[in-house]
Structure 1
Amino acid sequence: MAWIILFLAGLLEIGWAIGLKFTDGFTRLVPTLLTAGSMVASVVLLGIAMRTLPLGTAYAVWTGIGTVGTVILGIVLFAEPATAIRIGCIGLIIAGIAGLKMTA
């Protein structure tokens, strides 16, 4: 169950990272509220997952999910470059997440 909670926390991290782009420097109320809510919920779920999972593993997986998801959505939503090196680096992050999960 802790892994599911951690995965949800990672998805919410993606949500607030992308949400920051839509707040226009926290000048738009609704995106700002949604982003802040995602931030709080993500950290709360991370804390819950850390009750069972090792700190280093949980934190690394949480940030890894957020990083990979944010990069992918940056490519899809904001036309950021999808170079072979960027895709390869995403693959390395995913491999690291998988490795940490297998050893926890």
Structure 2
Amino acid sequence: MSTATASEVARLRAEERFKKTALREREAAEARRHEEERGRAETAKVERLRALRLARDAEQAAAAALRLEEKRAAAELAAQQPAPAKRQRRSAQS
């Protein structure tokens, strides 16, 4: 068996610390990338939902405007037509 000198032991410890530090840095970088991906996915989802909501709101506004226009047209048409003649009641003597 060979015995390690103090300088070899110190070098091995330093290498081990370096490896652990490098591993932690890689794991931290991977975690940051993962969080950034989640953030982008969340942003994309929010943008998609916002676009859907805006499209729905625009469709509802258009439908409401159409209903209002139909009511106006019906009211205008009703105003142009003469009132129906009142029916005369039959008298009891007839």
Give TM-score scaled by structure 1 length. Answer: 0.25
Point out the structure with max Rg over C-alpha. 2
User: Higher relative contact order at CA 8 Å, sep ≥6: structure 1 or structure 2?
Assistant: 1
